[in-house]
Chains A and B, each alone.
Chain A
């Protein structure tokens, strides 16, 4: 479904043209209904991979194919027609919410932007359903990001991604701020969607037991290289 070929990425550091190689010739693939996990030390470049696939930064080299079509390359930016299919759950939930927008509106906005609901009223209902799915009371929808807790923010971000019924979900440390129960709940939702709609997941996490528990393949990222690890 998604094929990543020979991706490399440098980051600028310092004033002159000094750069640092973060990703070096990365290749992997994700099949439909598959959970692929990436682990690695902190700062190894996992989030960078996620951001490249979701189209917010461009790779320096390499191509990414989605369903056989070229999705991203150094001189092709993410084409909007796949926006709905590939969703990222970012690592820092607070920073990725508009401080002046109520969290419920943030979800409703995404739904409406993709025409997934005919009217605002229905969008509101969908939002409530989504919030329930991620174990949040619907009153929370009326709060601003500064008025919710870390875990709640993380779940809002997840709900926002799920709202679009994506085909590929990139979850970057998505359960790191959740309690065990909520985490289990989210994982179950994801597994459900996977069987029902053929969702694939790129799961980025540190939590070894968690990763072990439900992924099909595990990659380990270290010093810019991606190494396949067999499930133990």
Chain B
């Protein structure tokens, strides 16, 4: 299979008043055609930032380094103009929280149409029809009335679905969907995931989520903690048989498992530990070694794990 995206050593720094602060540290993963990858991690660990850095849309005070290879070119070194030509055609971002991302001053119709126009459709009737189809596919019963509304007239979930529908307009090589199922009932979200994978069967799909059931749907899973990778590999294998302590605690905290919490406090450390495992302060198994040495990549069952306690 063809490799669509390969990221090596992605690091994101943000510039704050009194110096810089690292958000993402040395991430590497790759994506093949037709592959779906779930990025799972606690909130604030840098998932959205990773996605934005691929698109060149980081906020002004943040910079990315490393290489993001897409179609044989390094996206990080492209200029804004070239990137903006590719955005929405070669790769697509479906953002987290639809209502925040829709322009409150424009009708849904305008916003869908202008997205569709990017794909080359000009005819009014075809536009209308395609838009209706798209909205239907995210379980809207009467697409026409939705299109005539302004974002503030939509409910949170409806806005989210509108954004999802817009994400389906393209035929890109790469789709990154940031928490697509937030605020949508499970039937709709499953239907949507099916639609997503069937529409983009030839592209690579990255789904950022914290919903294990959504992650279950994917082929590979990438588990992040505080801007670093913890475990990366086949999805079912990892979920059924987690090896990293962080993954284990994640699964233990699921509602079906009774919200059980291992001892943990503040979510992300503000400064990266130059030495040692990032997770060690919260790790139930932490030892002296975790504190001093960075864990090396271990490979168990084709799964990459960064932990001292796992032996291949």
Judge A-B direct contact (beta carbons within 8 Å).
yes
Q: How many A-B residue pairs have CB under 8 A?
A: 146
Contact B154 A184 (CB under 8 A): no
Contact A178 B210 (CB under 8 A): yes
Contacts of B270 in A (CB 8 A): 137, 139
Contact A180 B44 (CB under 8 A): no
Contact A42 B250 (CB under 8 A): no
Contacts of B47 in A (CB 8 A): 149
Contact B255 A42 (CB under 8 A): no
User: How far is A210 from B41 in the complex, measured between Cα atoms in Å?
Assistant: 19
Instruction: From the candidates B42, B59, B157, name the one contacting A146 in the complex (CB within 8 A).
Output: B59
User: How far is A154 from B250 in the complex, measured between Cα atoms in Å?
Assistant: 19
The interface centre, meaning the residue of A13, A39, A91, A150 with most chain B CB atoms within 10 A of its CB, is: A150
Say if the beta carbon of A113 comes within 8 Å of chain B.
Answer: no
User: How many residues of chain A have a CB within 8 Å of chain B?
Assistant: 53
User: How far is A213 from B254 in the complex, measured between Cα atoms in Å?
Assistant: 10
Among the stretches B92-100, B199-207, B283-291, B303-311, the one at the interface with A is B92-100
Contact A43 B154 (CB under 8 A): yes
Say if the beta carbon of B1 comes within 8 Å of chain A.
Answer: no
Contacts of B153 in A (CB 8 A): 11, 13
Give chain B's interface residue range (CB within 8 Å of chain A): 35 or more
Contacts of B259 in A (CB 8 A): 184, 187-188, 213
Say if the beta carbon of A61 comes within 8 Å of chain B.
Answer: no
Contacts of A181 in B (CB 8 A): 42, 249-250, 253, 261, 264
User: How far is A148 from B267 in the complex, measured between Cα atoms in Å?
Assistant: 13
Among the stretches B5-13, B75-83, B177-185, the one at the interface with A is B177-185
Decide yes or no: A180 and B210 within 8 Å by CB, A149-B44, A150-B97 being known contacts.
yes
Contact A43 B158 (CB under 8 A): yes
Contact B43 A179 (CB under 8 A): yes
Contacts of A177 in B (CB 8 A): 43, 96-97, 179, 182, 210
User: How far is A14 from B112 in the complex, measured between Cα atoms in Å?
Assistant: 19
Decide yes or no: A152 and B43 within 8 Å by CB, A43-B157, A91-B156 being known contacts.
yes
15 pairs, A vs B, C-beta closer than 8 Å: A42-B185, A45-B155, A48-B155, A92-B99, A94-B97, A135-B267, A149-B48, A150-B97, A152-B43, A173-B182, A181-B42, A185-B261, A208-B185, A209-B255, A212-B255
Interface residue ranges, A against B (CB under 8 Å): 11, 13-14, 39-48, 91-95, 132, 135-137, 139, 146-152, 154-155, 172-173, 176-185, 187-188, 206-210, 212-213
